[in-house]
Each structure stands twice: as structure tokens, then as C-alpha cells.
A and B are shown apart, each in its own frame.
Chain A
Amino acid sequence: MRIDYDTKIIEMKNITKKFGDFVANDNIDLTVHKGEIHALLGENGAGKTTLMNILYGLYEPTFGEIYLNGKKTNITNPSVAIRNGIGMVHQHFMLVETFTVVENIILGMETTQRMGVLDINRATKEVEELSKKYGLHVDPNAKIHDITVGMQQRVEILKALYRGADILILDEPTAVLTPQEIDELMEIMRSLASQGKTIIIITHKLKEIKQVADYCTVIRRGKKVDTVKVADVTEEDLASMMVGRQVSFKVDKKEANVGDVVLKVDNLVVKDNRKLNAVKGLSLELHRGEILGIAGVDGNGQSEFIEGITGLRPIESGRVILNGKDITNLSPKEIIENGMNTIPEDRQKRGLILDFTVAENMILENYHKEPFSTKGRLNHKAISDFSKELIEKFDIRPRDHMHIAGELSGGNQQKVILAREISNDPDVLIAAQPTRGLDVGAIEYVHKYLVEQRDHGKAVLLISFELDEIMNVSDRIAVIFNGKIVDVMDAKEADERTLGYLMAGGGTIDEAK
């Protein structure tokens, strides 16, 4: 038997964590046995990561106690956690980009000669041995910014194992992986568990839990709902525990009424920040009345593609035609005025000016126009009337147009952006990662509005790393790999295996079949 039910390797009791007035964890209990793969399920912001950050010593709990192997332990900082055999792989990798794989792995536990001088050769050997033992292939001397995301994740796991971790915490480990890479990771987890490691996986993906976990603890709004044996429940059970109500995964939509081509991208080439081609001859066509989803793994040129067609990044070659007009390399302002608006992928970086009020954010693209300003003078009355109307219509909370945007919840921030972009009534709406980090309610809301745009005869270009989202919302699906669209298919005919194969660079659809 893999799981040793006699050893409670982790017991967290009555854990409460407050950030100011906000209660992130409210009296949570968690018990994990040795050798178990335990899933922590909850929506974004439910408090899963906070709980694990407490276990790893990054936060100190406001109240509550932690027992490791039955012994009460005060985990005041990560060093204590590491000493007690706990390792954590964070959702956003904690890797120093400019360092090599070995340097990242040994940081904080360096192999040295006399006087604190590093012994990189010996460290490299140790890392190679470890990587062989657990079947985690890495290139020890490569710099982090030169290796794939999958390998970066293996580096993170090796980092924990190098420190002798018996307990591995994986925070949303599959978010950035292709379906095939996810399968590999599941295999790695099973193999580690069979070698006696205990694994906690934080996730909001039900399929993965069913695939790999033994037990699952569900957290909702900072409170523990229950711990269940995964074999005894269905995905639907888990979903309603997570959200607190019945949820349907299918997006309600009628048949698409597809019109003419409204946006045509022809052989587009765009460079990334390192001056290398990131978009390498990308072509696609978008029609009125449809949602075209672009599926792909992060880092295949999606960001550069969006920035290129929206005027934020110079286009090296190729053309973008909007409504029959060439908009290649026009300024963002001109492109907006030609009828294309964007929900940017990073709402805090691009989408909002967090220090501005909601009202000031609402006019970001139109501040220079009547009625918001006349001859260079702002018309505060018109601005607040307009904002109040949108706040009402899009149900933004709090109902206060003078509220500072940075103090809104993620969902409400996204609603502000959605309201602003849709109120422009664009012919083409680009939605880049429009639901990242939102809870289920807000996700449903965003999807509803995207479909509504489509039903009004507008075109929507949806770019997302979440395959489920792409498959549920889109009418057609294009797969991007290495800066190109490798194939386009009808959403009804798409299945996860095929898409995964294409996203991983497996060639065209015919080859996939």
C-alpha cells in the first residue's frame, strides 16, 4: 500500500490568516498522510495558495498550529520548512532567469570549497545524479531563460528534491503546460509518490484531480468545505463543492451567424523584446458574427501577435486589414478609431491605471472626445454620468465611480475593462486571457458578454491558454505554435487530444489524425 495511514505527515489545525481586514484563511484544518497525493481544490482567491504559503513558512498564520509527523512545528520561514522536508513549486516559477539550472538549484544550499567559494563542478555532478534518479531530465549548465517551461518546472521539482524534500507542494503546476506535458507531469507525480514522497497539488482543474489525486480538500472563500476520497466523488460533485452551487461547464449559445471577413492578418512577422522573431508569418481571417479562439501554450507568440495588431509593437512585415482598410503599424489610437478594441491579457499592467478612479479609467480611450472634454477641458459631469451608467449596466461593485480602480476585486476590474471596450461598440473585440484569475461567476459573466458581442454581428478574437475555455466559447479554433497558426478547425469537431498534439508542434490536423 502506497499510503501510510498511520503517519500523519502534515496536520494543520485551525489555521487562520488575515491580511488587514481580509480573512484569507478562516479556521482551516488539513490532514495529509505519508505517500498520499492530496489535492487542494478551490477557485481563484479561495485561499489555497495562502494556506500552502503558511505551510512553507512564507506567511505566518494569524492563529493556528502545524504538526509535522505528530510534532508541533513553528514554521517561521522557508528555511524551517526546508529543514523539515517540505518543498514547494510555486505557480509563478521562483527561478532566477539569468542564473544557470545548477545555480538555481543550489541557491541557499550551496556546495562550497573553503571560505564560501562555490564548487560548481561538484554541484553539477550532484544535480545530474538527482536528475537521473527521479527521471527528471534537465541541462545543468543552461540558463533559465533559454530552456522550455516544462524543463523549468523540472528544475523547480529538482530544487525541492535537492533539499531532501519528502513533501512536495505543487501550486497550479499545469497552468502553463501542453496536454502532453501535463500527462508527463502526472506520471512524475505518481512515480514520486511511489518512492515515498507526499504530494500536495493546488489546482482548480477537476480532471487532474480525478486523474492523479487520492484525496481532495475543497476550500471556498477561505473556509474548508470538506476532505473527500477522490474515488468516491464525481467531477460534478467536486465542482459544486468548490463553487457552492450547481455549475454548468457549457456556455449557452446559439448557432453562429457568420458574415464577411472583418479582420485579415496576412503573413505577419513581429519581434519579441530580445529582437528575435516571435510571430513568424502568421495568417488568419476573422468573420463577423463568430468567435475565433486561438489555442496555444504560453510563449508561442500570442503576446507579440496581439501587441502587433493593436499597434503596441512594430510589425516587421505582413499586413493587417480591418474592414478592408490597411491598419498595419498604425498607432494604437488610430486602430481603436478604426473599430478594433482589446481586452488586454494583463489587466493590471495594460488594462487599467490602478491609481485612477473607475470613472477616469472608463474614458481612457475617449477622454479627448466630446462629451468627455471640450477644447482640452475635461467635463467631469459627463464623465461621471457615463461611468455611473456603465457601472449600473455591468454590475460593477462597489457602485462608486470615484472608487480607486486598484482597490476593486479582480472580477470587478475586468468588468471595468469589459464595459469600456464594449461601450466603444467595436467591430472586432480582441479578448486576451479575459478570464485569467477570475472566479467562476465572473468567468461566466465574461463569456456571456463575448457571446453577446458575437450575436450582435461583431467579431471576437479569443486568445487563451485555457483549452476548456477555448473549446467552450469559440465557434472556430485556430492553434498557434511557434509564431504561426498551424491549423484551424470547427469547434464542434475539435477534441482535446488533437488540439494538444497541434499545440505541442505536432504538425497539421491531418497528421494528428
Chain B
Amino acid sequence: MKQNRFIMIVISILFGLITGAIVLLVAGFNPLEAYGVMVKGVFGSPKYISWTIIRSTPLILTGISVAFAFRTGLFNIGAEGQFIIGSLVATLVGYFVKLPPIIHPIVALLAGALAGALWAGFAGLLKSKFGINEVITTIMLNWIALYFSNFMVFTKAFKRPNKDASHRILESASINVLGKWKTSEAGKVFLAEHKFWKEFLNPPVNYGFIIAILAAILIWYILKHTTLGYQLRAVGFNKDAAEYGGIDVKKNIVVSMMIAGALSGLAGATQVLGVSKETAILAIMEGYGFDGIAVSLIAGNNPLGCIPAALLFGGLKYGGSKLQPTIGAPFEVINIIIGIIIFFIAMPKLVEIITSYKGKKEGGKVESTK
């Protein structure tokens, strides 16, 4: 069964890329050239590789956020808003709170995660108390988060003069790898001599990637090896049976949303402390949360699977950003590809039919049910 799922996902990705090629072709672009640009845009230089990793990091976290909720029977479309709140709070802590290095980023990360947890926990509470579907509430909370974040950035104490953004976080809160060393004398000398590392460390490489991988392992462990995971999965699969077995369904819904929210909040915090260093005023959603849904679906809602899935996504997005400047093809073809991938992942039955047809041709004995 697991293997089927993997094949299904690969086929869906393939369909996505083929559709993307057609869309490009119709608009008069050479798809091979376009995909070539994207591949080169990801692997062409050590710098590009680190950018891809940096871009993928928040997606791993929002991906496992959505995946975790999915596994417990909830649809967390609110990863976006939790991400926004997580970034906002991490920025606030990073700018206003004075703490020594190492402790400062840890506090800021935890604050971001906590904020995300509370934000999502509210949606969980609405579901368990009032029975409101979390799909609608989390979407509404996304927009509220966006405007709230903007409102906060516009406050006098927080806004950077003449910029549509907040003040930058203090250097002590940064989670960049070798951030200080890079600009020190010794660092400059070393990097001048080692071209690969100079390139690789040029972008804001940060510990976020490691945090994300640790989070993925932790979530996998919780789901598989703990009583908490057992009861959350039980509620996710069949809340009537879980209730009958003595599990507190309502409490578990809130707990599950809070854990999911913590992960998305953490994603926002790593993004601020490692990359952006500030909270900008947003006109539209940045899409980290929505992409997290796609990552989770591609990963088959497996937390560990979210790592490669997010790298694929980060690659598509980062590589895709090279399309417009080089061959003039709109970046949005990437969103179309992502949409088509999800579209096919939504239809396991179709892919089943395709693979069983192949099975028949190869002399298999698969009998379609229809």
C-alpha cells in the first residue's frame, strides 16, 4: 500500500510537470529550456543550493504542521496565519527583548511557536466547543493574522522609519550559521581561499533547516511511539470509537491544533531569525502555509516525507523564480504545476486505474473494481 502511494505521488508530480510544460508551450515558451533554467537555478552554484535549502526550511515546518493535523483528522488551512503570527512575535521578541546570544534566539523561537500554538488552538477550541469546521475558521484567522501583523508593524515603536517593515531584530537573536565569523578577518581570509564555501555561505544560511529536521523526527516519534500520538490518531481516524474507548475527543482536537500551530509558528520564527530579520507589511499572503498544505499532501502526510517534499517545493519555487528574468515566462506557472500535482493527488482512484491498466498490460492479474 505504501508503495502504491509513492507511485501515485510520483505520477502526480509527473502530471504536474507535463501540464506545466503544456502551459508554457501554449504561451510560446520552450518548456525544456524553462525546466533547464529551473534545474540550473537550483543546482547551478553552491549559492543556489543553499538558497533552495533556505527556501525549503519554512515549508518543511508548515508541511509537518499540516501533516500532523491531517493525521489527527483536522485540516489545518490556517498554517499561513500561524506562520504570520509566529513571525510577528519572534520579531517582537527579537527586537524588544534584550538577551544574550544563544538564549535570545531560543526564547524568540519558543515565543513564536507558542504564539502559533495559541492562534491555532483558538480554531481548535471553536471546533470542539461550537462544532465549527476548522477549514473556515482557520481561513478567517489567516486574514485576521495578516491585518493584525500589519497593524502591529504600523505602530510607532515598532515601525522602521521610511520602510514598510518593522525594525530589524537584534544581532543576538540571529540563528545564522557563522554569521559573525563570515564578516570577521579570519572568516574573510578563509572564504577568499575556499570558493565553494564562500558561495555556499553567501546566502543567509541558518540553523532553521536543522530545527526543521529535528521537528520532523520529533513529530514522527510522537505519532508512532507515544500514547499522545495513539490517542490523536484514534481521534483522527474515528472520533466516535475514540470517544467510546474513553479518549477525550474535544481536548485532543485542541491539543492537536496547538501542536500544528506551534510548528507553523516555529516556521515563521525561523524565517525571521534566520532570513528576513524583520516583519514586513503584507499586501497579500506569502503562501508559506498554503504551500505547506501542498508539501504535506505530496509527503502523504508523513512528517519525515515532508523533508524531501519541501525540498522539491523549495526547488520549484526558487528555480521558478529564475524563469521571468531569463526567458520571460511568468513565475505563476509554478503555482499551476503545484495545483495540478494536488489535483492528481486528490484522485487516488484515477492513478489506481492508470497503474492497474499498466499492471494488466504487464500480464498482472489486477482486476479493476468498476
Contacts and interface: CB of A to CB of B under 8 A. Distances in A.
A511 interface: no
Given A376-B228, A377-B225, A18 B241 contact: no
B43 interface: no
Contacts of B227: 367-368, 373, 376-378
B184 interface: no
A367 B241 CA distance: 14
A332 B246 contact: yes
B248 A353 contact: no
Given A333-B246, A356-B234, A350 B226 contact: no
The 8 closest A-B pairs by CB, nearest first: A333-B246, A364-B245, A355-B237, A350-B244, A353-B238, A332-B246, A373-B227, A353-B237
| Interface SS of chain B | helix
A44 interface: no
Contact of A20 (B225, B229, B367): B367
Nearest to A367: B230
Contacts of A344: 244
Contacts of B244: 310, 312, 332, 342, 344, 350-351
Contact of B226 (A352, A364, A365, A378): A378
Contacts of B242: 353, 364
A20 B248 contact: no
Contacts of A365: 245-246
B326 interface: no
Interface in A330-378: 331-333, 336, 342, 344, 349-356, 360, 364-365, 367-368, 373, 376-378
Interface string B340-370: 0000000000000000000000000001010
Contacts of B229: 378
Contacts of B248: 331, 333
B225 A349 contact: no
Contacts of A380: 225
B231 interface: yes
A21 interface: yes
Interface in B232-253: 233-234, 237-238, 240-248
Contacts of A352: 238, 241
B112 to A, nearest CB: 25
A364 B225 contact: no
A349 B241 contact: yes
Contact of A350 (B228, B233, B240): B240
A331 B246 contact: yes
A296 B240 CA distance: 24
Contacts, number: 70
A239 B49 CA distance: 74
Contacts of A360: 230
A20 B243 CA distance: 34
Contacts of A336: 246
B220 to A, nearest CB: 13
A332 B226 contact: no
Nearest to A337: B246
Contacts of A354: 237-238
Contacts of A355: 237-238
Interface string B189-202: 00000000000000
Interface string A312-341: 100000000000000000011100100000
A364 B369 contact: no
Contacts of B369: 19-20
A332 B238 contact: no
A364 B238 contact: no
A177 to B, nearest CB: 27
Contacts of A376: 226-228
Contacts of B245: 332, 364-365
Contact of A377 (B226, B231, B240): B226
A310 B246 CA distance: 10
Contact of A367 (B231, B240, B243, B367): B231
A367 B247 CA distance: 10
A202 to B, nearest CB: 24
8 contacts: A20-B367, A312-B243, A332-B246, A349-B240, A352-B238, A368-B227, A377-B225, A377-B226
Nearest to B245: A364
Interface in A374-392: 376-378, 380
Contacts of B233: 356
Contacts of A21: 367
- Which of A349, A353, A378 gathers the greatest number of chain B CB atoms within 10 Å? A353
B230 A378 contact: yes
A344 B241 CA distance: 9
B243 to A, nearest CB: 6
Interface in B200-240: 225-231, 233-234, 237-238, 240
A333 B240 CA distance: 14
Nearest to A364: B245
Nearest to A20: B369
Contacts of A18: 367
Contacts of A356: 233-234, 237
A20 B237 CA distance: 25
A120 B237 CA distance: 43
Contacts of A377: 225-227
A364 B241 contact: yes
A341 to B, nearest CB: 10
A373 B241 CA distance: 20
Contacts of B247: 333
Nearest to B247: A333
A305 to B, nearest CB: 15
A160 B247 CA distance: 46
A355 B237 CA distance: 7
B231 to A, nearest CB: 7
Contacts of A310: 244
Interface in B40-55: none
B164 to A, nearest CB: 46
Nearest to A311: B246
A365 B369 CA distance: 36
Contact of B234 (A19, A331, A353): A353
B225 A378 contact: yes
Contacts of B367: 18, 20-21
A192 to B, nearest CB: 36
Contacts of A353: 234, 237-238, 241-242
B287 to A, nearest CB: 31
B243 A332 contact: yes
B225 A350 contact: no
B3 to A, nearest CB: 16
Nearest to B229: A378
